[in-house]
Structure 1
Amino acid sequence: MKQSLHPWFEQAWSELNLTNMPHAILLHGQTGIGKMDFALHLAKALICETSQATKPCCQCEACHWFDTGNHPDFLGIVPESQAHLLPHEEMAGDDGLDEKPKKGRKKVEDDSEKADKKASSVIKVEQIREALDGITTSPHRGIQRVVLINPVETLNPVSANTLLKTLEEPPESTLFILVSDRLDRIMPTIRSRCRLLALGRPSADLSLPWLATELASAGIKTSQAEIEKVLNEAGGAVMDARDRLLGLSGAGESAQDIAEPLLKALGEGSQINWLQTAEVIHKAPMSELLVTLERWTADLMSQQNAGQIRYYPSRRSSLEQCSKSARSHKLSDYWKILLNARRHELHALANRVQIEALLIRYQEIFKD
């Protein structure tokens, strides 16, 4: 199975030396730009056993095993909600290989009682402990083992400290690939023990043609203007834009379902019906609500200061009207409130209470 690197990562990839890697590398950047794809490409290249200079070759046994999720020296640790992002049997199809190392698989046939349970969005303590306990032995194929953890910021303090101890005394022939959307949430001691690699958001010149190609491959006809609109509203997060355009935002409330009623309400400025709005959107993930609030507020400040709109140019009329009546100092204070809310968005607090409080504070921006 050939997995090509996204074009916006080619420069970062060219700067890596696969023969001289640190024991831990921390990939960080904006959410929704494909960092997990880059991490998997790197993991596969490190495990690839070809003698060719270009890796991964996608032809050797190690590459085939990686694609099927059966390579004994690759360990991916992600929240339950992201398990589908890891290599698995379905990705490889029929590759004709009869001999593959079989790792222990979790039984799902008798998991009916867990079927209705919502998948966790954080990495659990048990996952880290089980994984790190299993890397004390030598790699099965005698080369190296790769451990991928994404996103690192979802580790709780106990798990983070367990990982830190391992990074301080890393097992021989084991390389860690850590991925993060929020570098500021990671323990400084963990960051200091990794080589940091920033993965930048792709430019529109790269994103727009790529999105057009993805849509064409899926047989979906969409105007260039619509693609640009969705990309802007996604803050340049090309993978998020693709999922929205392809209708792959996931089960439950999609990003589009969340943003539309919230943005419409925010456009009403001082007349916002915060109670009714909270009733409509409070079941959505808090992180997505906060991102939308942040982008709208950023556009308001940008419109006030420079007459420019980045995220929601299609809502220019509402933004211009709101920016005229918003009090600059209150808008700046509200921005700080949103930043603080982002730091605590993973806490087990009631969404309804939080979003109501934020919408009330938003309404106050327009009052003397």
Structure 2
Amino acid sequence: MTALAPWLQRQLAAVLTLRGHAVLLDGPAGLGQYELALALARRWLCEQPRGPQACGSCAGCHAVDARTHADLFVLLPDALALELGWPLDPGTAERIERKEIKPSRQIRVEATRAAIRFATTTSARGQGKVVLIHPAERLNAESANALLKTLEEPPAGVRFVLASEASHALLPTIRSRCQRHAMAWPSAEEGLAWLSAAGAAQGLQLTTDDWQACWHAAAGRPAHALQWAQLGLRAPLWRTLPKRLAAGDLAPVAEWPLPRQLEVLMLVCHDALACALGAPVRHFDAADVPTQASPRKLAALWRALQQAQRHIEHPWQPGLWTQAWAERVRTAFSPAGQPTLHSRP
């Protein structure tokens, strides 16, 4: 069992005071929703709890850690389940192995129906049953509607914890049947200390400036900052990115996954637009942000980036995508460029 971050430990104690059968953990990605949801499920199923913490040593805790607890159903998209080490149902796993289907990035309705059937059976270990859903916004319309009836009239002894990174995408009827907990943000000092320790455990040897750069890239979300560090982001690169990207030079990020390329373009656009409007920057030092573009052109670029974000999981050809966006960004930041962006990769 991995130790829970300090700010998540505080929230675990608060969430345990909530009454009701369903809890919605809500906040931006990178604040630890999944980790908190799993800690909550572990505590609910622990056979010898110690205050707000699970004991970590009983048979129930060991079964959760081994992904084999008979009273815990973890409902995830296929791709995320494989990444986090949770077993898929045998039929889906076999079809993926035979390459008949790809691991889904949405929560399949078949898996949701299996969770509903699980909820109707008797507890095996006597501590009740738990259904953990993450990220809950990945329930497609059919899955969400299938789950709704069980959330409205849950079987006795069944609790639900839904972890979401975009709760606005959930059905209002699902949100209304859950007690919401807004995820808390750690302080910079607390988050950076955790980052340094987590990075060291993974063999990442970063300087203080490097961790600061990852922290700013993630806008203060610790898990997201750790992902930036794993990607190879370091302080010297971070300082040069705004002006290089504004000049249409995407070579420093060309090997990054497309969602990360898009994300860093949005961060640069955000801070450039903030400078243009006289607002404080958030991600970069103001001196590193290009200021030659007009607010109108930057606003048009921001809208184009937002539109691209909705389709970023489409199977784009990476090289062509990067090349197309390099030209669009260069045009947007060029004083002599066209104010309207027409092409879309």
TM-score by length of 2: 0.80
Matched position secondary structure for 1:134: helix
Deviation at residue 330 of structure 1 after TM alignment: 2.7
How many angstroms apart in 2 are the aligned matches of 1:209 and 1:277? 28
Aligned pair partner of 2:44 in 35, 46, 53: 46
How many angstroms apart in 2 are the aligned matches of 1:277 and 1:16? 42
How many angstroms apart in 2 are the aligned matches of 1:232 and 1:47? 37
* CA deviation map 1:243-277 (0-9, x unaligned): 443x3xxxxxx4759xx79x8587353x5278x99
Deviation at residue 148 of structure 1 after TM alignment: 0.5
Amino acid at match of 1:25: V
Contact 1:265–1:277 under 8 Å retained in 2:
no
Matched position secondary structure for 1:293: helix
- Residue matched to 1:229: 213
Is 1:172–2:140 an aligned residue pair?
no
Is 1:364–2:328 an aligned residue pair?
no
Deviation at residue 44 of structure 1 after TM alignment: 0.2
Contact 2:8–2:32 under 8 Å retained in 1:
no
How many angstroms apart in 1 are the aligned matches of 2:3 and 2:296? 47
- Residue matched to 1:127: 111
- Residue matched to 1:272: 248
How many angstroms apart in 2 are the aligned matches of 1:44 and 1:168? 24
The 4+ residue runs of structure 1 with deviation greater than 6 A are 103-111, 351-357
Contact 1:265–1:272 under 8 Å retained in 2:
no
Is 1:8–2:7 an aligned residue pair?
yes
Q: 1:221 to 1:87 in 2, by over 3 A?
A: closer
Aligned pair partner of 2:98 in 92, 99, 113: 113
Larger displacement relative to structure 2 (71-80 or 293-302) = 293-302
Is 1:187–2:180 an aligned residue pair?
no
TM-score by length of 1: 0.75
Matched position secondary structure for 2:306: helix
Deviation at residue 284 of structure 1 after TM alignment: 2.9
What RMSD, in angstroms, separates the aligned Cα atoms of the two structures? 3.7
How many angstroms apart in 2 are the aligned matches of 1:49 and 1:296? 50
Alignment of 1:1-368 (within 5 A): 1=1, 3-17=2-16, 21-50=19-48, 52-83=50-81, 113-114=98-99, 119-218=103-202, 220-245=204-229, 247=230, 254=231, 256=233, 264=241, 267-269=244-246, 271-272=247-248, 280=254, 284-285=257-258, 287-306=259-278, 308-313=280-285, 317-319=287-289, 322-323=290-291, 325-342=292-309, 344-345=310-311, 348=314, 350=316, 361-362=328-329, 363-364=331-332, 366=334, 367=337
How many angstroms apart in 1 are the aligned matches of 2:233 and 2:211? 14
Matched position secondary structure for 1:345: coil
Matched position secondary structure for 2:25: strand
Deviation at residue 176 of structure 1 after TM alignment: 1.0
Matched position secondary structure for 2:160: strand
Deviation at residue 106 of structure 1 after TM alignment: 7.6
How many angstroms apart in 2 are the aligned matches of 1:265 and 1:310? 13
Deviation at residue 219 of structure 1 after TM alignment: 5.2
